[in-house]
């Protein structure tokens, strides 16, 4: 059998109804029987801000947001805390934990725990190993902040997965700022948080 050679296709090699722009992908256009360059639906994210803490801090803020325009934000985190601690997610300037509800599912080995609590848990950080995680953040049709997030915590021999669904009691006309706060301990220097917006 002959060896397959690598086929390299450039945008100019594809007969299309339009000229491609950066990040676009080809899609078949039935009326013209040609390809058309389009923006991939639901697959593009743009970095809003990345924050790496230079010193230990009790919280960090993402400012100058506009969820009415962006619709959806994606938060990623790679963090450690001074001691085991929840990480809270606050919207706008409502920093009262009791103004939020969180439904939790925690998987640990062959067991699972479910609970509903009155504070906004977006993650949990272990002082020994830290945490990685992500969360989708929305303003729902009732004008409440909602977020769904996952994180991976603890050491290799007993790592856990935490799933958290947050809803605010308060309503907001827009969400222009988000705060990540260590609930029981400082967030350590070197912890990294990035916020992306859907485009």
Question: Could you read off the pLDDT of 4-16 as tens digits, one per residue?
Answer: 455 555 667 677 7
CB atoms within 10 A of CB 49: 15
Judge contact between 195 and 49, C-beta under 8 A. Answer: yes
Locate 154 and state its tokens.
């603890």
- The pTM of this model reads 0.78
The arithmetic mean of pLDDT across residues 142-169, rounded, is: 92
What pLDDT score was predicted for residue 127? Answer: 80
Predicted confidence band at 151 (pLDDT cuts at 50, 70, 90)? very high
Helix (H, G, I), strand (E, B) or coil at 79: strand
The alpha carbon of residue 124 and the mean position of all alpha carbons in its chain are separated, in whole angstroms, by 15
Q: Give yes or no for a contact between 145 and 24, defined as CB atoms under 8 angstroms apart.
A: no
Asked if 54 and 189 touch (Cβ cutoff 8 Å), the reply is yes
The whole-number pLDDT of residue 23 equals: 67
Measured between alpha carbons, how far is 59 from 191 in angstroms, rounded to an integer? 11
DSSP 8-state symbol, 56: -
Q: How many CB atoms lie within 10 A of CB 69?
A: 8
Find out whether 137 and 145 touch, Cβ atoms under 8 Å. Answer: yes
Domains present along the chain, CATH in parentheses: 8-41 (no CATH), 45-198 (2.60.120)
Write down the pLDDT at residue 1.
47
| pLDDT tens, position by position, 178-195 | 999 999 999 999 999 999
Residue entry with tokens 């230990």: 56
Q: Are 25 and 9 in contact (CB under 8 A)?
A: no
Q: What is the pLDDT of residues 34-84, one digit of tens each?
A: 777 776 655 678 899 999 999 999 999 999 999 998 889 999 999 999 998
Least confident of 70-79, 117-126, 153-162, 185-194: 153-162
Give the pLDDT confidence score for residue 172 in this predicted structure: 97
Q: What pLDDT score does 17 carry? A: 82
Closest Cα to residue 14, out of 2, 27, 31? 27
What pLDDT score was predicted for residue 138? 95
Report the percent of the chain where pLDDT is more than 70: 89
């Amino acid at each position: 059998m002959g060896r397959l050679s690598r086929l390299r296709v450039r945008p100019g090699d594809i007969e299309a109804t339009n000229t491609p722009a950066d990040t676009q992908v080809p899609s078949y256009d039935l009326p013209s029987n040609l390809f058309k360059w389009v923006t991939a639906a639901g697959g593009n994210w743009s970095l809003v801000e990345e924050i790496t803490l230079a010193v230990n801090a009790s919280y960090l803020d993402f400012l100058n947001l506009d969820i009415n325009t962006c619709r959806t934000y994606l938060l990623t985190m790679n963090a450690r805390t001074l001691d085991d601690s929840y990480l809270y997610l606050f919207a706008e300037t409502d920093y009262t934990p009791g103004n939020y509800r969180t439904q939790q599912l925690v998987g640990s080995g062959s067991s699972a725990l479910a609970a509903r609590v009155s504070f906004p848990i977006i993650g949990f950080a272990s002082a020994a190993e830290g945490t990685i995680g992500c969360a989708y953040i929305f303003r729902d049709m009732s004008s409440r902040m909602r977020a769904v997030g996952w994180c991976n915590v603890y050491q290799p021999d007993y790592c856990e997965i935490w799933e958290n669904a947050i809803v605010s009691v308060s309503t907001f006309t827009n969400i222009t700022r988000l705060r990540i706060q260590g609930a029981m301990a400082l967030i350590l220097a070197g912890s990294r948080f990035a916020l992306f917006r859907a485009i």
